[in-house]
Amino acid sequence: MNAARLFAGAAPRVRAVPPSTQFLDLLAERLCTDLPDSFALADALILLPNRRSVRALIEAFAARGASLLLPAIKPLGDVDDDADVWGADPVAFNIPPAIDPLRRRLELAQLIRAKDSAEGGVADPAGAIAAADELCKLLDSASAADNVDWSNLPNLVAERDLAQHWERAAQFLRIVAEYWPARLADEGLADPATRRTLLLDALAASWREKPPQTPVIIAGSTGSVAAVRRLMKVVAGLPRGVVILPGLDSDLDDEAWNEIDDQHPQHALQETLRELNLDRRAVPTLEGATENDHARARRALVRETLVPASRTADWLKRLDETAAPWGAPAAFVGRALEGVSLIEARNEEEEAAAIALLLREALETPGRTAALITPDHKLAQRVSAKLRRWNIAEQPAGGSALAEAPPGVMLTLLAELAADDGAPVSLAALLKHPLAQVGDAGAVAAFEADILRGPRKYTDLANLRGKKNEKYAALIDPLVDALIEKLAPLRAVFDGGEAQIGALAEAFAASAENICGPRIWAGRAGEAASSFLQALAESQEALGAVKPFQVPRLFATLLFGRVAAPEQEGHPRLAIWGPLEARLQHRDLMVLGGLNEGAWPAPPPNDPFLSRALRHRLGLPPAEARIGLAAHDFAQLANAPRVALTRSERAQGAPTIASRWLWRLQTLAKAVNHDLRASGAETLALTRAIDRPAALMPQHAPRPKPGARGITMQRLSITDVEKLIRDPYAVYAKNILKLKALRPVGGAPDPRELGNAIHKALELFPISDAPLADMFPALMAELDKQLQAYGFDAPMRAILAARLKGATKDYLRWAQARRAAGYVPFLETKGAMPVGGAIVAGIADRIEIRPDGMAEITDYKSGSPPTDKQINSGLAPQLLMEAAMLRVRCIPGVPQADTDRLIYWRFAGTNAGERICKVDGGVTAAAAETVSGLAELLAHYAGGDAPFLSKPRVEFINDIDDYDQLARRKEWAEHEDVE
């Protein structure tokens, strides 16, 4: 291909730059060389694809000492609203300003909500915002195309006899076709993409009428937008105008070129050349864009990798023909793949670790640069986290999500508390937020431990004062008062039951500042949060009224996609980019990560409003066009001298499929027996070796012997006695180490709460001689009250009420019969008895003294009670210990008595009722034997020779208990016998 200088020859001037060339460095060099002086350079106008490439070109000029008099450099894809000066000459157009993107979302969402309400649907604001976002994409897509006639849509639906839902979609799109353009015209505004099209078309018309004599260059754009293609045609014909195309392939055979579809990397360039009325082989290479033998081989291999699918039937023949300049196909593929490595990791974590290792390795060489390019945001985050292992921060690219920055997190928490100001998880997160200034650490810790952990047993913040443990009241009550005061704006805004988005934003701002002070707005993330709320406040009633329960989803939807600029610069030689940011960029090492199908390329987006056929008939760009642009990005990046391609074989535990481009490249390599995976084997081995221990050190079962140090248990509960037999280590951790398992914040009630609620209800409900029909609803009401007090919500209480209905009636009949027989009950009585140097304490559910003076002890069970075998073997000593306490007068308030009957009363949905235990040798003798055995067991542990083992008898292991993790059971239980 011939080479040409920038402005040499007659118009139209179009140049090409091969993908292996450092595009922006070459552009800066040619401008500095081909223009006569710095004043001519300052008169030039350069149009680039995006802001990132603008910054990179400025850096390229600075590297050449041309930083004082720079040309005007502007992004085609993101035209400045106030950009009225283009190059050396001012150019002003009568074009309406663009509507604020947030305002556009809100106003379109309001139209959607109004339509939903009129049709009897749910006017959900978050759903309306999501639908408005899809409408915005449709509007932008239409602006990128040539002539889209929305008024023809109803006719197209009728002509094609489509399903009824497409007719409804067509009716819905009247918002786009009729109302929205009129609405913008009345306000003197335009959609952002429409304004860009109008500006570019006006610029083209102005230059066509009065061509500028100063240099005008469009560089790096493929011309995927119709207005850009039209501007390119004008610029190519200017006296000193030139268009520079990236990666134009003039070597692809004509048959393949004519079969290019929307998903091919050359498709956008093909459309551009058609607009310019140029043959691709007539486009010269920009002077200075040289290719060595390796670059030519790589470009040829990538070209064959991405050849249209219709041309792969004779792939081996094509490979032979392409390889001819290098001899055999094997030599060609080997030459092309020099500097290319492939890493196929087992999972996402390993892929991220391997990429981080590659990036750090690049930094070991002075002056070497590296970049990760991936569309996978999660992979980028993982790699960034892995780099922090070595205290390396990558150079920030487009910023981070506002929703993940501290101010954005605070707004999200406030949205959750607007719906429910007592939400435990949200309250805990707010109080521990790094910007929050509510209460001291002691008060927050007490509030979390005493109120927020475990089931929620309150309704809202106002209901929290004086709750639970009185010893914490002095700490907790002031904290609750402070929270109520600081969140007052959020409550006040909903005094009428609903609020407008503008008033809600002001309430959010006030509450955020109450909680965090002015530092909530500090830094770039704080500025982004402030701008977000200010834009919402200025929108006033744009969205319509919002109810409290709608706020969390609404704010999550509104925050999605908003970006906060990075707070600080990272390593100057390291970057993490998305494919769009990486266009025209160059680093010594380019890591292309996340090369899995569905990630890179992403599947074509689904259009919720239009079928593919309707999009085509209307003139909208096909959804697959995005894949073509992504393929062009991949082709450009894969031609870098040193490239690492990475993917994970599994994602979120499921198998993945390699990207179609990577799969094709591997297929061609395998055709000549080239193992591309071998190139990344060393990196994978090093990655896996980083966290591999030098030697395995198996964990052994813990064998603590506190008795050897004179430490003994001073007090046990009756349930601890049973636990001492089944799991001594748990008793050691609880009673000697004084460790208590933390319940999850806002955790759901478990069987403990159910049992406590039933016990409390039966304790408080008086049994009388009233008819069962009167007593039953009263006891059910008491059960419901206690279930609510122990954290069960209304749906769960309704389920439990239905399940416990039969047991409640049976219990009332049983209790009334015993009352009639003269039994005197004592409910929930506490007892304590010295045994073996310790105090054993417990609470008896129900002790009854019969008229003959003998006692019966009943224990309520909401689950399955112990078997007679477990009682007689000593594994379930609870009732026998209570009998022993009663016999020696250790239960205050209950007269001394011998016990001859032990009862378990199962208060459950099935098999409810009493079960009388069969105790070998009688209750009195068995109780005495139990006390004696416990004394011996306590002496056994106090002696110091017996270790407190973790669940020493496998047959007695239940589910995972609170102290299993502390004992590290999973590390040793399968290979170590502790009995």
Per-residue three-class SS string for 368-385? CCEEEECCCHHHHHHHHH
Identify which of 18, 126, 84 has the alpha carbon closest to the alpha carbon of residue 555: 126
| pLDDT score, position 558 | 92
Supply the pLDDT for residue 470: 62
Structure-token pair, residue 358: 């590659």
39-48, 351-360, 904-913: range with highest mean pLDDT: 351-360
Query: In which element (H, E) is residue 318 found?
Result: helix 315-322
Extract the tokens encoding 598.
């569905």
Query: Where is average pLDDT lowest: 16-25, 177-186, 340-349?
Result: 177-186
- Predicted pLDDT at 730: 92
pLDDT above 50 (res 88): no
In this predicted structure, which of 472-476, 534-538, 722-726 has the lowest mean pLDDT?
472-476
Residue 3, strand partner residues: 285
Q: How far apart are CA 828 and CA 556, in angstroms?
A: 49
List 243's β-bridge partners, or say none: 14, 218
In the structure, what pLDDT confidence band is assigned to residue 90 with cuts at 50, 70 and 90? very low
Check pLDDT > 90 for residue 906. yes
Q: What is the pLDDT of residues 641-681, one digit of tens each?
A: 999 999 999 998 899 999 999 999 999 999 999 999 999 99
Q: Closest Cα to residue 585, out of 33, 218, 60?
A: 60
Q: How many CA atoms lie within 13 A of 263 on its CB side?
A: 14
Residue 930: name the closest of 871, 890, 843 by CA: 871
Interstrand relation of 715-717 and 824-835 (parallel, antiparallel or unpaired): unpaired
CA 814 to chain centroid: 54
Q: How confident is the model at residue 153 (pLDDT cuts 50, 70, 90)?
A: confident
Q: How many residues does the chain have?
A: 979
Spacing of C-alpha 897 from chain mean position = 63
Q: Residue 450 pLDDT more than 90?
A: no
Q: Which residue has the higher pLDDT, 341 or 569?
A: 341
- pLDDT at residue 362, as a whole number: 95
Q: Are 312 and 256 in contact (CB under 8 A)?
A: no
Q: What are phi and psi of 841, to 5 degrees?
A: -125, 155
**Which of 173-187, 220-234, 303-317, 531-545 is predicted least confidently?**
173-187
Per-residue pLDDT at 84: 45
Out of 274-278, 398-402, 763-767, 817-821, pick the least confident: 398-402
**Residue type, position 825, single letter:** P
Q: Range with the lowest mean pLDDT among 70-74, 91-95, 256-260, 761-765? A: 91-95
Residue 367 backbone zone (phi > 0: left; psi -120 to 50: alpha; other: beta): left
Tell me the pLDDT tens digit for each residue of 869-887: 999 988 899 999 999 999 9
At residue 961, φ and ψ (nearest 5 deg) are -105, 175
**pLDDT above 60: residue 357:** yes
pLDDT above 90: percentage of residues in the chain: 59
Dist. CA 5–CA 900, nearest whole Å = 110
> What is the average pLDDT score of the chain?
88
- Residue 122 pLDDT: 65
> What distance in Å separates the CA atoms of residue 59 and residue 46, rounded to the nearest whole number?
14
Residue by residue, what is the 3-state secondary structure of 252-310?
A: CCHHHHHCCCCCCCCHHHHHHHHHHCCCHHHCCEECCCCCCHHHHHHHHHHHHHCCCHH
Question: Comparing 146-155, 493-502, 729-738, which segment has the lowest mean pLDDT?
Answer: 146-155
Cβ atoms 371, 589 nearer than 8 A: yes
pLDDT tens by residue, 914-945 = 999 999 999 999 999 999 999 999 999 988 88
Average pLDDT over residues 824-846: 94
Tokens representing residue 937 in the block: 């067991």
pLDDT of residue 159: 58
The yes-or-no verdict on residue 959 having pLDDT over 70 is: no
What is 735-795 written as a DSSP string? IIS---PPPPBTPPP-HHHHHHHHHHHHHHSPP-SS-HHHHHHHHHHHHHHHHHHTT--HH
Confidence of residue 207 (pLDDT cuts 50, 70, 90): very high
For residue 762, give both structure tokens. 């039966």
Q: What is the mean pLDDT of residues 33-62?
A: 88
Residues paired with residue 824 on neighbouring β-strands, in sequence order: 849
- pLDDT (mean) for 560-566: 82
Average pLDDT over residues 285-314: 92
Q: Judge whether residue 979 has pLDDT over 70.
A: no
Element (H, E) at 527: helix 523-539
d(Cα 237, Cα 216) in Å, to the nearest integer? 10
Using CA atoms of 182, 185, 186, 190 in order, give the dihedral in degrees to the nearest 10: 110
Q: Please tell me whether residue 787 adopts helix, strand or coil conformation.
A: helix
Asked if 783 and 804 touch (Cβ cutoff 8 Å), the reply is yes
Over range 49-62, report the average pLDDT: 90
Residue 493 tokens read as: 């805004």
- The DSSP secondary structure of 835-897, one letter per residue, reads ETTEEEEEEEEEEEE-TTS-EEEEEEESSPPPPHHHHHTTS--HHHHHHHHHHTT-STTS---
- What is the pTM (predicted TM-score) of this model? 0.86
CA 610 to CA 616: how far, in whole Å? 10
8 Å CB contact between 665 and 612: no
C-alpha distance across the termini of the chain, in Å: 82
**Is pLDDT above 80 for 26?**
yes
pLDDT band per the 50, 70, 90 thresholds, residue 973: confident
Rounded alpha-carbon distances, angstroms, from residue 314 to 256, 305, 307, 670, 907: 12, 13, 11, 16, 76
